[in-house]
Every structure is written in structure tokens, then in C-alpha cells.
């Protein structure tokens, strides 16, 4: 099937044949399985079961040695992230991985799984929040075991067995006692072969749609950058902007430093301690994670203790433009308008509240999304490895293109209309990606638990 076909054209599990006979697995969350299949606790399918990783601190990491796997190094798909940490092999000699070993994360983001292969990966040891299972390959193939951890059934088991605290936790003993579906070895291989092919096809579709989202986001940035610096009239006379890397702007437009158009307010520092006699109050406050590029994410808003006589100093007002101090490069200087969604609300010291005096808040926020402004933030930032931050004084020196009021409003209206069209397309593509991911999980679940029989499909494809 061509990877250009839409999600609605993908086969569903109903398109595949079923086994002739089924019987109860004896496990509610597994349901019925083919009559000739078995179930067993994971520990009975292993040569070594639930071996905890090494507890090592960050000051033991080195520039070379063996890679030291942590939960954060394993992505949702079961692949390793491109960057990691390394450690002296002598300090982790009892925690080295071997071909076919299954790792499961037991704390934080529980349920992450990884199969080690010496042909695909450099030598690796593993950290204490991961637990290792050395599989008995005559009973359970690593490839099939990996797909078992990608089923909806496995996720259901996780939800009922994870200890909910500040972070999730599933002990190695719980993993070891997890009921596992065990087809005959030749069927395990057939299922893994089938899912390798089908998930690769689905992943290619997902990747293509994700590239489409990237292109739409680039189109949005290009639109904003063009109209902010050139306006809507392509035939207008241009003039020198006075800023070397901004070049020309339409005649009659001004360019002014941000500090001449706004007031910039810094926020409250987290962890500030007060004397016992100081009256304090806990109030909601915004963190960098809440301020995205052009919008707010208020799903999780924290509270902070602040002296009552300092509240006014850090209080947000409707119309403030929130701009981030930095972090990752994509967080540098991103801005959006605060509309008083939460009252009262403060802001962290890593977020600047830019309070316009002579231009619209929406215009200042729009300018921060233009390429020239992003370039300014990067050039003016203090940079370290993968991180950057910009000071208040540098932020205040941002050159802001200022068209006449009527022109600004016309540009804002035009951008609203065009970006809404782009946003609608992005939402549709994101929905299609979600459906593909749901289909992927459903297909894996159906194959791994025997709800479909893929043996003939694999034999036919091999001819």
C-alpha cells in the first residue's frame, strides 16, 4: 500500500482472519486468546528477572566510556534518543546489557521499553530507574516481547499497577509477575515480522504528516515575517530601516526600540524565603512552560508564596505581552498576550511582562514571532550547550517595526484570518496523526493477543 493513502484507507483489524478456536486467558485485561497459546508470568519466561540498574550520580558521567541509559534516554517508540550520558565501564561492569535484553522503566514515565542489540547500539549500561529482563529466547523472543509492551492491554495493566504519587512507579517485582501472552515460537516470529512491516508503514505515514505540520508552521512564520516587515502592499515604496540586518521597511514606517514603546517588568524568583513576621499569600504564577510561541498553555498552573506587599510588583495585567527569558533555543523570546485568564496571577522571573504604552499588545506579540526578532534574540542571548537566555536590557533593545495605526490593524486582521486557516489545517493533520497512532496500537494489540491470525499474511509476503 502506498504511504500516501489517507488513514481512512488503512485496513482495520477486521480485514484479517481470526484463529479457529479461542479460550479464556484467565486474565481479565487479556481476554480470550487462541486455544493453543499459553500465558505465563514474565519472570517464568526469563533466565534472569527484574534486575535493577545501577544508582549513579551525574558527577560520575564522563565524555566517553559506555552509554548509561536512563528513562529519559528511551523515547515513546522504544528507540534511544540521539544524545545521552556516558560512564566509566569499570563502575557499571555488573550492569552491562546483552543482546535481546528487555528494559522497562519503573519510575517517572513508567512502561517505557527497550530491546538492546549490539549490532544497533554501542555498549550500554543502565540506571536504577530501569529494570532488566534477560529473556529465555526459547520461550519468549525479544521482538515479540517488545511488541507486547506496545499493546493497549499492557497500558491497561500499567494503569492498574502503577503507584500514583508525585511520579508513577511500577516495581520490578510487579513487572516480573505480569501475565504475558505466549504464542508458539514460530508464531511469535511471524507476529514480530508482520508488525515490523505494518508499523513501519504506519510510522512513514505519521512522519509524512508531521512534515506537513512543519511546513504549515514554516508557512505561518514566513507569513508573519513578511507582513510585519513589508506590509500588505507589495508595490509600496521602501526605505532604509536603520537596522543593518533588518534592511528596508515601507516608507512612512518607524522602527523603535522596545523600551521606548513599552515598560518591561521582571517576575518573582521561585524559592524566595521570607521572615516569619512577613505576611504572605499563595497565588497562581506562570512558568516558562505556560508561555508558548503565540499562545498560552494553562493546563497546569502552579502557585507560589509571595509577600502581600510585593503582589502588585509581580502582578500581571490584561494586555501584558509575556516573553520568555530563554532555556532551549525555541523558548528564547517567544511571546503571547495575557488576557487576564486567571485573576490574580503573577509571573516567574524567567518571564518578562512587556506592558505596551503606544502600540497594541497584539502588535508587539506578533513582532516577536517574526524571523528578524527571533534572529535578534539569538544574537543578543548568552549561550551555552543547547541553552540560551536574554537579559532584560537586551530585550529592551529589540527593534520594533511600527507602521501607522491603520496599517497595523489591517495587518493584524489579515494575520488572524490567514493563521486561522493554517491552524485549522494543523488541527486536521494532528487529528489524522492521532487516528494513525490509535490504529497502530490497536493493530499491535490484535496481533500480539491473537485477535487476528497473521501467519498466512507473513507467508504470502515472503514469497
- For residues 142 and 333, give the distance between their C-alpha atoms in angstroms, rounded to a whole number: 46
Residue 68: what pLDDT?
96
Range 136-171 burial, b when 16+ CB lie within 10 A, else e: eeebbbbbbbbbbbbbbbbeebbeebbeeeeebbbb
Model confidence at 165, pLDDT cuts 50, 70, 90, reads very low
Dump pLDDT digits (tens) for 317-332.
999 999 888 766 666 6
Residue 299: what pLDDT?
87
List helix spans (H) across 56-184.
Answer: 142-148, 152-161, 172-176
Residue 324: what pLDDT?
84
pLDDT surpassing 80 at residue 9: no
pLDDT surpassing 80 at residue 162: no
pLDDT surpassing 70 at residue 53: yes
Dump pLDDT digits (tens) for 123-152.
999 999 999 999 999 999 999 999 999 999
Q: For residue 344, is the peptide bond before it cis, meaning its omega torsion is within 30 degrees of 0?
A: yes
Find out whether 389 and 296 touch, Cβ atoms under 8 Å.
no
pLDDT surpassing 80 at residue 188: yes
Angle at 388 between CA 385 and CA 390, to 5 degrees: 155
Burial class of residue 334 in the structure, from the number of CB atoms within 10 Å of its CB (0-12 exposed, 13-18 middle, 19+ buried):
buried
pLDDT surpassing 80 at residue 335: no
pTM value is 0.81
Pairing of strands 113-115, 124-126: unpaired
Find out whether 154 and 111 touch, Cβ atoms under 8 Å.
yes
Residue 347: strand, helix, or coil: strand
DSSP 119-148: TTS--EEEBTTEEEEEE-TTT--HHHHHHH
Dump pLDDT digits (tens) for 398-436.
999 999 999 999 999 999 999 999 999 999 999 999 999
What percentage of the chain reaches a pLDDT higher than 90?
Answer: 67
Residue 13: what pLDDT?
59
Domains and CATH numbers, the chain: 1-23+184-237+403-463 (no CATH), 38-182 (3.90.220.20), 254-402 (3.90.220.20)
Long-range contacts at 155-163 (CB < 8 A, ≥ 24 apart): 155/111, 155/441, 156/29, 157/29, 158/110, 158/111, 160/29, 162/110
Q: Averaged over 305-312, what is the pLDDT?
A: 90
- For residues 310 and 85, give the distance between their C-alpha atoms in angstroms, rounded to a whole number: 42
Q: Mean pLDDT of all residues in the chain?
A: 89
| CA of residue 217 relative to chain centroid, distance | 16
Residue 5: what pLDDT?
42
List helix spans (H) across 352-404.
Answer: 361-368, 371-380, 392-396
DSSP 296-340: B--SS-EEEEEEGGGHHHHB--TTPEEEE-EESGGGTT-EEE---
* pLDDT higher at 384 or 319: 319
Residue 142: what pLDDT?
97
Cell numbers 542571548: residue: 381
Report the residue count for the chain: 463
pLDDT surpassing 60 at residue 119: yes
DSSP 258-308: HHHHEEEE--BPTT----TTS-EEEEEEE-GGGB-SSSB--SS-EEEEEEG
Amino acid at each position: 500500500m502506498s504511504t500516501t493513502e489517507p488513514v481512512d484507507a488503512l485496513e482495520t483489524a477486521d480485514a484479517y482472519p481470526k484463529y479457529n478456536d479461542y479460550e479464556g486467558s484467565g486474565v481479565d485485561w487479556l481476554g480470550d486468546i487462541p486455544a493453543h497459546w499459553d500465558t505465563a508470568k514474565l519472570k517464568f519466561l526469563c533466565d534472569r528477572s527484574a534486575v535493577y540498574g545501577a544508582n549513579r550520580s551525574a558527577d560520575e558521567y564522563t565524555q566517553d566510556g559506555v552509554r548509561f541509559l536512563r528513562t529519559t534516554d528511551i523515547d515513546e517508540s522504544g528507540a534511544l534518543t540521539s544524545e545521552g550520558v556516558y560512564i566509566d565501564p569499570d563502575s557499571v561492569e555488573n550492569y552491562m546489557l546483552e543482546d535481546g535484553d528487555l528494559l522497562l522503566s519503573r519510575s517517572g514515565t513508567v512502561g517505557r521499553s527497550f530491546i538492546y542489540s549490539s549490532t544497533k547500539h554501542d555498549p550500554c549500561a543502565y540506571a536504577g530507574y530501569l529494570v532488566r529482563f534477560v529473556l529465555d529466547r526459547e520461550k519468549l523472543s525479544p521482538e515479540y516481547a517488545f511488541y507486547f509492551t506496545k499493546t493497549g492491554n499492557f497500558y491497561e495493566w500499567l494503569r492498574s499497577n502503577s503507584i500514583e504519587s508525585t511520579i508513577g512507579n511500577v516495581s520490578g517485582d510487579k513487572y516480573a509477575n505480569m501475565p504475558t501472552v505466549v504464542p508458539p515460537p514460530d508464531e511469535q516470529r511471524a507476529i514480530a515480522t508482520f508488525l515490523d512491516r505494518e508499523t513501519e508503514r504506519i510510522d512513514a505515514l505519521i512522519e509524512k504528516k508531521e512534515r506537513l505540520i512543519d511546513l504549515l508552521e514554516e508557512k505561518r512564520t514566513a507569513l508573519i515575517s513578511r507582513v510585519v516587515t513589508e506590509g500588505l502592499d507589495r508595490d509600496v515604496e521602501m526605505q532604509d530601516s536603520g537596522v543593518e540586518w533588518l534592511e528596508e521597511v515601507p516608507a512612512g514606517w518607524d522602527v523603535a526600540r522596545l523600551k521606548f514603546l513599552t515598560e518591561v517588568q521582571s517576575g518573582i524568583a521561585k524559592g524566595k524565603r521570607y521572615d516569619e513576621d512577613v505576611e504572605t499569600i499563595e497565588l497562581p504564577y506562570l512558568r516558562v512552560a505556560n508561555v508558548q510561541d503565540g499562545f498560552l498553555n494553562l493546563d497546569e498552573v502552579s502557585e507560589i508564596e509571595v509577600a502581600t506587599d510585593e503582589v502588585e510588583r509581580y502582578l500581571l495585567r490584561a494586555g501584558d505581552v509575556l516573553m520568555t527569558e530563554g532555556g532551549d533555543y525555541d523558548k528564547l523570546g517567544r511571546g503571547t498576550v495575557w488576557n487576564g485568564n486567571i485573576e490574580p496571577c503573577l509571573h516567574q522571573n524567567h518571564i518578562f511582562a512587556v506592558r505596551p504604552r503606544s502600540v497594541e499588545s497584539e502588535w508587539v506579540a506578533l513582532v516577536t514571532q517574526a524571523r528578524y526578532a527571533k534572529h535578534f534574540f539569538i544574537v543578543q542571548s548568552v549561550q551555552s550547550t543547547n541553552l540560551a537566555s536574554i537579559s532584560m536590557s537586551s530585550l529592551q533593545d529589540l527593534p520594533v517595526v511600527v507602521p501607522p495605526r491603520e496599517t497595523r490593524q489591517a495587518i493584524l486582521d489579515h494575520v488572524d484570518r490567514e493563521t486561522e486557516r493554517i491552524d485549522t489545517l494543523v488541527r486536521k493533520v494532528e487529528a489524522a496523526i492521532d487516528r494513525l497512532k490509535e490504529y497502530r496500537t490497536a493493530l499491535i494489540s490484535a496481533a500480539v493477543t491473537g485477535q487476528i491470525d497473521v501467519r498466512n499474511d507473513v507467508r504470502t509476503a515472503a514469497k
